[in-house]
């Protein structure tokens, strides 16, 4: 019977112009040549922990069981911030302890969390600015060879969790923050379909300055093609969150909105 190769999936803000991604992969392959490496993305906005956390959250569950995820968006590299290894029922995650794994921890409250400390599994020389290559990559490679998580450090009880504002309903108005803006400029709002689909009969959407974005779109549309080019549209996106977009244009640019800004929806 053919043995299934272990998978290590990478998500970083390294970009693709430098040697950072290649050297990270080189370290992994040097320790375990049989591992398969998959790139989720290396184009997370520089230093944007919230963007990295959201992209990882929307990608990870589509991978085979036992996939090892390395997530590196690490503006605090070289500081006293910790590094963590998380084991859930199906997956492993390696990242700086800066909130990058917030959604993973919230969705898997019984996960095991290890503070990565055992230098035996680091490269012999560790750069103060490149822990993705010198620590996260070798740890992931050894993990892919079935090393137990306890070998890499000790249990961590209180990992860093991002403070993400929940959606709130008051007097027929839902207020919720923008969690993410994709490359098309679509606004992904912290309103989940499984929690709000029964009450979301949109009458009006306003931005942070109470300027109207969209009015009287009931029921929600199913895709951009349901409106004319240049028109605003609200729909449940592939991530199961509410999205505000414009057919063939950027809603973020048109309304001058960014991640963290709050949207008001009259229902």
Residue pair 127/133 in contact (Cβ under 8 Å)? The answer is yes
Residues 243 and 33: their CA atoms lie apart, in Å, by 41
Residues 121 and 136: their CA atoms lie apart, in Å, by 9
Structural domains for the chain: 7-155 (3.40.50.10790), 168-266 (2.40.30.90)
- pLDDT by residue, tens only, the chain of 267 residues: 557 899 999 999 999 999 999 999 999 999 999 999 999 999 999 999 999 999 999 999 999 999 999 999 999 998 999 999 999 999 999 999 999 999 999 999 999 999 999 999 999 999 999 999 999 999 999 999 999 999 999 999 999 999 999 988 887 788 889 999 999 999 999 988 887 766 566 666 666 667 666 665 656 788 888 889 998 888 889 999 989 889 999 999 988 889 998 888 877
Q: What is the chain's alpha carbon radius of gyration, rounded to the nearest angstrom?
A: 21
- Using omega within 30 degrees of 0 as the cis cutoff, is the peptide bond preceding 219 cis? yes
Query: Dmax of the chain from CA atoms?
Result: 62
Q: Give 242's strand partners.
A: 189, 236
Q: What angle do CA 103, 13, 152 make, to 5 degrees?
A: 60
Collapsed DSSP state (helix, strand, coil) of residue 220: coil
């Amino acid at each position: 019977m053919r043995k299934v190769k272990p998978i290590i999936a990478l998500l970083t803000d390294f970009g693709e112009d430098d040697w950072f991604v290649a050297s990270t992969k080189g370290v992994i392959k040097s320790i375990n040549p049989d591992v398969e490496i998959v790139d989720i993305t290396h184009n997370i906005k520089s230093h944007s922990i919230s963007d990295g956390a959201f992209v990882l959250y929307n990608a990870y569950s589509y991978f085979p069981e036992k996939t090892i995820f390395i997530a590196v968006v690490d503006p605090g590299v070289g500081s006293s911030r910790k590094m963590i290894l998380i084991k859930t029922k199906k997956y492993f995650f390696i990242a700086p302890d800066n909130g990058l794994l917030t959604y993973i921890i919230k969705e898997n409250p019984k996960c095991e969390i290890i503070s990565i400390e055992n230098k035996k599994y680091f490269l012999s020389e560790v750069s103060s600015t490149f822990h993705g290559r010198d620590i996260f990559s070798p740890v992931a490679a050894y993990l892919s060879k079935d090393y137990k998580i306890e070998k890499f450090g000790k249990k961590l009880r209180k990992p860093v969790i991002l403070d993400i504002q929940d959606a709130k309903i008051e007097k027929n108005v839902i207020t919720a923050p923008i969690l993410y803006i994709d490359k098309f400029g679509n606004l992904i709002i912290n309103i989940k379909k499984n929690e709000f689909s029964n009450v979301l009969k949109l009458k009006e959407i306003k931005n942070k300055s109470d300027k109207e974005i969209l009015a009287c779109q009931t029921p929600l549309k199913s895709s951009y093609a349901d409106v004319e080019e240049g028109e605003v549209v609200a729909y449940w996106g592939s991530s199961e969150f509410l999205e505000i977009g414009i057919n063939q244009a950027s809603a973020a640019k048109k309304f001058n909105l960014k991640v963290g800004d709050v949207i008001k929806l009259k229902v």
